[in-house]
Structure 1
């Protein structure tokens, strides 16, 4: 563990790191928050977005607006469209051969469900 991680001081600015945030290496700051027994963790290129993310998560918990999107962060929209094509549209030739492939050619299917 680096000296800055133990001291809780950001080596780039000399300012204290927020509770739940720490410096990992050059251009890597990690924020961590425990919510409902589940640890959320995210890495950022600088301290400012990490601090902002921690503040947002605290506010969401306080306002009871927090929604866990960790499972949908891993699933691309493409997988959902392909599953829909295979399970629901297999008997519909036009959808299976023309409409769905047109959707799959669009770059929007490369984003994750939570986005």
Structure 2
């Protein structure tokens, strides 16, 4: 499928991103990491303020360490130590008519 065709088809899926009966101007789902100040013994959870299935990519110090697909994602504390920078990067999953679409990312330091 050509890139332009994918872009046109993606337009048909905008209601799936929460823009059905409201204006999409400036809409950007929020990404949360909890706990807000994790210690090295805490599992870290990443979630999106919109119901749906997302692709989650976890990086520790800019190296990808884990990925998953679901409503939220948990990074086990075994991947981190004190002082690490943890990033949760979120995409919509690739579909039959579209590529993955970047939603956003959130970062936190391990205390």
Same fold (TM over 0.5): no
Task: Point out which structure has higher relative CO (alpha carbons under 8 A, 6+ apart).
Answer: 2
Q: Per residue, is there more strand in 1 or in 2?
A: 2
TM-score between the two structures when normalised by the length of structure 1: 0.26
Higher gyration radius (CA): 1
User: With structure 2 as the length reference, what TM-score do the two structures score?
Assistant: 0.27
Considering fraction of residues, name the structure with more helix.
1
